[in-house]
Amino acid sequence: MTATVSNTVSTLLLDWYDAHARDLPWRSAPGAAAPDPYRVWLSEVMLQQTTTAAVAPYFEKFTQTWPTVQALAAASEEDVMAAWAGLGYYSRARNLVKCAAQVAAQGGFPETEAELRKLPGLGAYTAAAVAAIAFGQRAVVVDANVERVVSRLFAIREPLPNSRPQIREATDSITPEDRAGDFAQAMMDLGATICTARDARCLLCPLSSQCRIRAEGDPLELPVKAKKKPKPSRTGTAFWIEREGEVWLVKRPGTGMLGGMRALPDDGWSARKDGDGDPPVSGAWKGAGVVRHGFTHFDIELGVAVHASGAGQPVGEGQWWPIETIDDAGLPTLFAKAARLVLSARD
């Protein structure tokens, strides 16, 4: 696109954003003072591969519990992981604690994209988003919504992920010097509400007059995505061990699947193998059923085995947790499903 056309794109998009911006708890209104960098950073980390609807209640809970980056830096990793439970991609939560501690130690967030990249857990996208939205820096912000909008706007037909350098270059060509944060959020909103994966509402799109794919063909043809490989399936068993109104919970290793989370003990399943380990306590077991869950790279069928009453002390480290407050344990979704299965059968 020529400079004149690029300017037209940013002007049209920002005018649309001024009238139609989504009201989100981590945002400032269009044209208003930039939001707190802590809130921008926290929301962007939460929004990675997670929907706005799913993130909003977690964001509200986090900012009520830890209203500043200093407060989050002082929190225990265990508490943060428990509050994160259900959002998935738990390495993000571990990096939150590390990043908050580093930011608090250095007195605040750096303002440039390059310096933000040095913080734990901040990749190219998150650093660019914080630089643009919180600090007004011109940065090229490309998430999945932007990839879709730009692929259609420029009729980029090479399949993802190989097209990403071309998409980034195209996004750079239309990113304005002023209001870069509003522009980035406008692109996100356009992809989330108008130029969506399942629909292209061209009659409502402020960029329809500039869109190459609309002139050339069907917008839903783009972006082209490489075929996904089928996910492997794994099997495993979770063990429910109960005594005197409490259930035995363990803390998973700090690295690996669901690292650092409280969970029911299991038989050692992982992304690479089925479970085959022994239960942590001897005695009679009864099957309670199976729960299913999809991770990014594999699916799992997890059988749930319930120990007979009067269990001895399980092998290994763990804690007895009151069953009546099991929701406060912060179990990851897979193990929360297993707990609900046991308790629903009892009810």
Residue entry with tokens 């050692």 = 268
Which letter does DSSP use for residue 81 in this model?
H
- Cα(145)–Cα(193) distance, integer angstroms: 10
- Cα(207)–Cα(12) distance, integer angstroms: 7
Rounded to the nearest angstrom, the gap between the alpha carbon of residue 138 and the centroid of all alpha carbons in its chain is: 24
Residue entry with tokens 């960029």 = 207
Please name the amino acid found at residue 104.
A
Q: What is the DSSP annotation of 161-193?
A: TTTHHHHHHHHHHH--SSSHHHHHHHHHHHHHH
78 is catalytic: no
Q: Out of 44, 77, 216, 244, pick the active-site residue.
A: 44
List the beta bridge partners of residue 304.
238, 289
List the beta bridge partners of residue 248.
320
Task: Please name the helix (run of DSSP H) or strand (run of DSSP E) that holds residue 286, with its range, or none.
Answer: strand 285-294
Spatial CA neighbour of 15 closest among 4, 31, 27: 31
In the Cβ-directed half-sphere of 219, how many Cα atoms lie within 13 Å? 25
Which residues contact residue 325 at a Cβ distance below 8 angstroms, ignoring those fewer than 6 apart?
A: none
Tell me the catalytic residues. 44
